[in-house]
Structures are given as structure tokens and as C-alpha cells.
Chain A
Amino acid sequence: MAKLDSKIPEGPIEKKWENYKAHTNLVNPSNRRKIDIIIIGSGLAGGAAAATLGEAGYNVKVFYFQDSPRRAHSIAAQGGINASKNYQNDNDSDYRLFYDTVKGGDYRGREENVYRLAQLSGNIIDQCVAQGVPFAREYGGTLANRSFGGAQVSRTFYASGATGQQLLLGAYSSMNRQIKAGSVKSYNRHEMLDVVIVDGKARGIIARNLITGKIERFGAHAVVVASGGYGNVFYLSTNAMNCNVTAAWKIYKKGAFFANPCYTQIHPTCIPVSGEHQSKLTLMSESLRNDGRIWVPKHKEDVEAIREGKLKPTEIPEENRDYYLERRYPAFGNLVPRDVASRAAKERCDAGFGVNKAGYAVYLDFADAISRLGVETVKERYGNLFDMYQNITGDDPYKTPMMIYPASHYTMGGTWVDYETMTTVPGLYAIGEANFSDHGANRLGASSLMQCLCDGYFVLPATIANYLSGDIHTGSIDTSSAEFDKAANGVQELIDKIFAINGTKSVDYFHRKLGKVMWDKVGLARNEKGLKEAIEEIKEIRAAFWNDVRVPGKANQFNNELEKAIRVADFLELAELMAIDALNRKESCGAHYREESVEPDGPQKGEAKRNDKEYTYVAAWEYMGEGKEPKLHKEPLTFNAIELKQRNYK
């Protein structure tokens, strides 16, 4: 059985990465040509890794299900990317970024990984500027910054409201250069459906060609999973429609532990649900909280009048508004971390102060910012977000406050990895949102882009050689072995099984049902009773799926319904693990809020209460076989460079 060794290097925290690099095994340039690396995913993490490993001279094969690598979900990130450059001279430093990230994650991340992330953050910006990423600039020509939730400094770099797009196009351009050079081979419209393990090592994958339906085999000396997050388990989320857990789930079933699945982030500022056919929720970037003020009416009469359309929010005078974040958290105000802001919105709406018809929305108001800065400045900062809002809702945010509500957005949980980003399976790596390591129980805004690029450009390329140095004499991997046969047959059987059901309900029907259970019982607030019910309900939906799902069309052609069925089948299994993990963690930490665990009294009364004595660990789950209980492994977390204390944003 695999055991948890996080392989933290020796030395003081600020020297660990340097020490690691000084002592790690290398593969010399002429040998790199003999080594094949498979990367699942062309987002910021996968794209950056593919480009960099290609530059280093390895043979890289990159797989993704969209038609172009530029369409990975990273493209949709809006707000920005953090780095401890201290260009604003506001006392920022590697330590401060490290501190904010560990604290924002509610002390449930791995300290050493986070420190490295902060140390490398500045290099990412250098890299992107050299690529030609058109970041926003000041009049003097230097790079501009804005501030984001959970920080008191301005360290977020941005390109209007399309930062993810520009960063991804940067990684894409570097990758294209390697595709042209022949070191990276790109497989579009290919979905990885299993990893192949030979003699205990990851040696390749089975993928379905989404155009022909063919089940194809690919061998490699190492496999890197950069497949993104699993926020779509909630059905409605801010994630792209096709984001899914399949790659991470398939490797879980082949021995890679899955860590902290219950840590899922609900983003406070999304456009509220409006209708039953809604397919996704649109994020309004967190950067808006820099200048927007969040409020609900103080009085129920005003709420009623607003819901009935008799009163406009702009008609409510200042003294009758409850700027509840500023009231409860004066030090951070509207810039408290996401989990705090989301729960506060839910609290107000549950108490009956929600401002849309359904009662699940709060205001995000720019009137003050517009009078302070002028329309032009506000337009310059947020113009495309305002346009997007107006296009979707029909309301003009320059004239009336936006309505927002929390939605599933990001998953801190993911495949367990060590300091080298290797999973519990030798030769199998996980990077980007797909792994668990850096954000603890809650991710700060603008930190995912940083982590994805850090993993892809700097961490993985420096750590993978340590493993691959053992493979320079291996030769190319034979894909006709019994292990490949078995994995390929398994995928074929799965597809045959799905078509054989020929039931009466669509895949979406089951996904929507699952999403409702997850949102109600494994969402913003969780309790023992609800979680136990959720586990039973998930099992029922899963059984119904395998009994009654209908997938039209054929296996040997382009078939989006089949793709969805395979993904939802995996969500139906992951969902149960999320509930099991949430049930196990009888504390509130970060985004994981157990109603049973709140501060009973004192100045923090009612705020989430951590239980450091019993839960300062990473919960890494091992798959034990179908129908069996997963096994819990604990990686204890120790904090040496930072004092463990309760988060206080008051």
C-alpha cells in the first residue's frame, strides 16, 4: 500500500526549494529526447508544462477535449494573478504573500509548498511579460496592480477583465512554438479515460478520440494530470460546461489518493439563478469588490417592496441600508475572503433579506465608486464585466446596483501530491487546480492562476527529472502489453454498459438531481444529518442513473451525450466521497463550514470554529474497490514559519 511521504526538503523554509534543486537528479539534454511525457490538459497548468518540458527537449504529448488548447477553462478567468513583486512599495514580500495564502486557506495547506509558490510568483510575471501578455499599465509604463480579497496590499496583475485569457494565450503561444519545433504533439478532441500502470508505475493512458470514437493507447515514461477542478459536481457552477473530474477520478481508482474533496469554494459574486433551463452561473469577478459595496436593506418592508417591484434599490436612503460586510468585518470590509463573504450573503438571505424574487440575491453597488472616481475610471476598470452583466440580466450596473449570489466556483481539494507534485503512484503527477496542495481549505482570489502557472512553468519541470533520471534506458513504452489491453478493454466495457441501459432519462436529468443534493447538503453549510442523508441520496441517484439513463447516437462518432454520461458517472462517485470527507471533518475551516462547529461566545461569536487539535491534517482518501469504504490516510500539517491562529478579518 502506498504511504504518504510529502518529501519536504531539508533546511529553513526560504532555502528549501533552492536546496531541492541543488540536490535533485537530472536528465541530461541528449537523454531527454528518449523520454516521453503525457500531459492531460492544455490549461494554464498543462499548457505551461507542455511548453516548458518541450523547450527542455522532452517528447511531450498533450491531450485535451476542446478543439484547441486555447479553449481550456483557464481562458475564462477574469480578475487577475497575484505576485509578490512589491511594485507598489506597500511592504509586500514573499513572506507576506505566503502568510496571506496560508491564513486565507485557514491553515489547512502545506506550508512548504505555499512558500515556494510565493517565492516563484514574481518569475511568473516576468515570464508572461516576455511572452507578450498585455498586462494593464500605469501612465509611466510600469505594470499596474489592484487588490483582491484576503490581502491588504496591491499585488494583483491584470489584463482588463480577461487575465486568464491573456495568460493562457501566452502559454499557448509558447506551446505553439514547441509544436512547430516538433517537441510537443498536440491531441485535440481526445479524452483521457484511464491511466495505465505497469509494474507500479504510470506508463500511459487510454483516450477516446472524440471525433471517431476510437479508443486509442498512448505510452509514456510519466503522466501528468492537469485536468482542472470538479466544481461542476454542483451542476450549476461558474465552470465551463465540460469541466469534469474524470481524469482525476480515473487515477484515484488506480491508486492516486484524493485529498480533501470536501474543500470546495463557493464564490460570493455570481449572477443569481434566474430560470429552470439555466445551464451555468456567470461569475462577476472578485475584483469588483475593490470598488463595489455589498448591501441589503435594513428593513423587511423595503425588501418586500423591492421584491414586488414597488421600490428601487437606488431609492433606499443610506441609513436604511445594511452594508453587512463592512459592519461585521471593519478591517477588511468588502474584501474579506470568499468563504466569509459567501456565508454572510447566505446568512442575510436565509434571514429574509434577499432582494430578488426568489429571495436569493444581495446588492453589489457602484454608486459610491462612480461618484468618487467618475464613470470613465469605473468603465476602464470593469467595463467588460458591466457589459457582460447587462447583456445577461438586462440591467445597467452604471445606474442600478448589480444583484449577486454565491455559486460553486473552485475546488481546493484534488489529487494528493507531494512536494514534487507527484501523486501516490510513481511517475504520475498532478498540477494546477487538479491537485490539492496550496490553497488549504479556501483559495484567495487571483491565486489559482499563480499556482497553475507556477506548477507548469517552474515546479513540475524542475521536479520531474528527479524521477525520469531512472528511465533513460527504459526505451519507448510498449502499448500492446497486457496492462494496456486490460485498461483499453475496461474503457470499451464502460461505454458498452452505458449504451446497453437504453433507459428513459437524459444525462442532464441525473446531473441536475445530483447538483441539488450537493448544493443543499454538501454546499455552503453542512451538518451531520444532512451529510448522512446526502450519502444515501447520492447512492439512489447513482443507482437510478445506471438503470435508466439514455444516451442516443453511436459510440463510433462524435457524441457529446456519451461524453457527458461518462463524466457524470464519475461525478456520482466523487459526490459521495465529498460527503464522506465533509462528515469526517467535524470542524469548520475555510470553505468547509460545519454548522456544529462555531464560536460559542466572545468577540468571534457565531464565526466558524476550527479544531486544530484534531483536524490539522490533510485527509487523503484511498480507493479500496467498488462498493467498499474508502480508506482515510492523514498527512499531519505542521506550521513552523507561521503561527497557527484563528483567522480574524474583524
Chain B
Amino acid sequence: MDFTLKIWRQDSANAQGSMKDYKVTDISSDTSFLEMLDVLNQQLIEKGEDVIAFDNDCREGVCGMCSLYINGEAHGPKKLVTTCQLYMRSFKDGQTIYIEPFRADAFPIVKDLVVDRSAFERIQQAGGYNSFDTGSAEDANNILIDKETAAAAFDSAECIGCGACVATCKNSSAMLFVSAKVSQFALLPQGRIEATSRVLNMVKQMDEEGFGNCTNTGACEVECPKGISLENIARMNREYLAASLKG
């Protein structure tokens, strides 16, 4: 397969960026999207040009490093997969593909397609944990949790922190990401103890980082590679309301 690629190039955070054209040819349909970019980078090295910077690591869809905005969609056209799990068979031979970074005010560009998501870190640090010290836990089976609840908490906990939800939202809202963590703890008995302070602190930090408001368009859920559901946002809103009344 052959493709025309239009890729965002930007030398550093403060430099001006622009879209540049590239061509790749003879790509097998079993090649992954990132392997296709590997091929392009090998060609650039042979020509003595600087490679295209993009984040990636596990290439199994779980580390959350990869963060490409492909033809106007976070992680590309296929649903429920990350960029690294996207294969070229999802594209048409000869197609033009636009590749951009995840864009949001809270995610400044580092270089080319690499962005800085440390705002997410600070939100997690504001309350995404249970407060207890190593070694002080009781026997695990003293806490009984019914199977469905455990499974629901797992579904929320599966968020990989990629930021596709933010990149997709027209307001750059981080509600899906934050609500996934709030929900995981809200569902589990171990997490209830600090539920009030957690939701207040995490939401406060989210607002301070400059993420936009949620206007319930649901676009984030559609593009989330882990299928994190909008129910999480609804749950967080309830938790927040309850916490505000208490607090």
C-alpha cells in the first residue's frame, strides 16, 4: 500500500509548527500504524533528515504513551484501540493521512507529535489514592466485594491516561479521565473513606490546569480506546454534589 502523509512538525515547545508532506510506499496491510512511521523515519535517517518524534512504548495498547490525532480522530479511525493497535488495513491504498499531536491548552507540544501531559499527573496527585502506609493492610479477604462491583471498578480503572478524551473534546475537558479514577474508588469500599476529599481535590486541580468544561456531547466516550463510559462522569457529578453539600 502507498500513502501520502501530512504530518505536524514542530521543533520545540516555542517554535512555529506546520504540516509537512511525506510519502511511504510498499507498506503491507499487516503493518501497524507506528511501524509505518518507523519505516518513514528510517527513510528520513537515510536522507540525513531529522526523524519525526512521536511517543510510544509498550505497543500493546496499555501504556498510554501513543497519542496521535489521525485524520481528525484521536487514535485514528478504529474504535476501542490505541494508535499502536491500529493496522494499515484500516486505511485505503493511496489514501492521504493527516497526523497531528493531541491538542489542548493543558497539553503543550514538546516536539512534533509529542505532548506534555503532566497536568494529568498533578490531578492524580491531588487525590487519586487511598491514604494508608505500606504494611498496615488487613487480610485481603476481610474486604468482601461482590463480583459485579469489582468488575465495574475494574472497568473504570482501565483508563490508560492517554488523553484522547481531552484531545477529542471541543472544550478540552478532562472529565472522562478524572471521573474514571474517582469512580474506581467511589465503587470500592476501600475508597469510600476519602470519597469526599478526593472528588473535591481532583476536580479543583482539574480546573486549575486549564481543562475546559464538560457540555455532555459524549465525544470523549466515542474516542476513548478503553471504552471508559460516560456513566463515570455522571457518577462523579453525583459524588461532587454530595461532597459539596457535605463540605
Contact = CB atoms under 8 A, between A and B. Distances in A.
A58 interface: no
Nearest to B27: A277
A131 B129 contact: yes
**By DSSP majority rule, is chain B's interface helix, strand, loop, or mixed?**
loop
Interface string B23-39: 00001101110111011
Given A177-B129, A282-B60, A557-B11, A141 B111 contact: no
Contact of A129 (B89, B131, B140): B140
Contact of A458 (B53, B121, B135): B135
Contact of B61 (A51, A136, A188, A388): A388
A503 to B, nearest CB: 10
B246 interface: no
Nearest to B85: A391
A130 B137 contact: yes
Nearest to A509: B42
B64 A552 contact: no
A277 B28 contact: yes
B64 A71 contact: yes
A560 B116 contact: no
Nearest to B132: A130
B62 A279 contact: no
Contact of B146 (A126, A132, A141): A141
Given A125-B140, A134-B150, A560-B51, A174 B157 contact: no
B124 A172 contact: yes
A141 B157 contact: no
Contacts of B215: none
A293 B58 CA distance: 28
A241 B56 contact: yes
Interface in B86-132: 87, 89, 110-111, 114, 116-118, 120-121, 124-126, 128-132
23 contacts: A55-B133, A67-B116, A125-B140, A129-B137, A130-B130, A132-B188, A139-B146, A141-B146, A142-B141, A143-B141, A173-B130, A176-B121, A177-B125, A177-B129, A240-B58, A275-B30, A277-B27, A277-B35, A277-B39, A279-B32, A283-B60, A392-B85, A558-B110
A557 B111 contact: yes
A360 interface: no
Nearest to A461: B134
Given A126-B140, A132-B190, A143-B141, A176 B128 contact: yes
Contacts of A278: 35
A280 B32 CA distance: 10
Nearest to A556: B12
B63 A279 contact: no
B117 A134 contact: no
* Interface size range on B against A: 35 or more
A71 B162 CA distance: 10
B129 A274 contact: no
B152 to A, nearest CB: 8
Contacts of B11: 557
A639 interface: no
Contacts, number: 211
A179 B125 contact: yes
Given A67-B117, A87-B141, A132 B191 contact: yes
A573 to B, nearest CB: 23
Nearest to B190: A132
B137 A552 contact: no
Contacts of B58: 71, 73, 75-76, 240-241
A173 B147 contact: no
Contacts of A136: 147, 150-151, 154
Contacts of B61: 388
A123, A125, A135, A165: residue with the most chain B Cβ atoms closer than 10 Å: A165
Interface string B53-94: 101111111111100000000000000010001010100000
Contact of A67 (B28, B38, B65): B65
Contacts of A173: 124, 128-130
A172 B63 CA distance: 13
A166 B55 CA distance: 22
A280 B130 contact: no
A388 to B, nearest CB: 7
B130 to A, nearest CB: 5
Contacts of B137: 123, 126-127, 129-130
Interface string A166-207: 100100111011011000001010000000000000000000
A400 interface: no
Contacts of B45: 506, 550, 552, 561
Contacts of A166: 154, 157
A52 interface: yes
Nearest to B141: A142
A135 B150 contact: yes
A599 B181 CA distance: 55
A129 B150 contact: no
B242 interface: no
A139 B125 contact: no
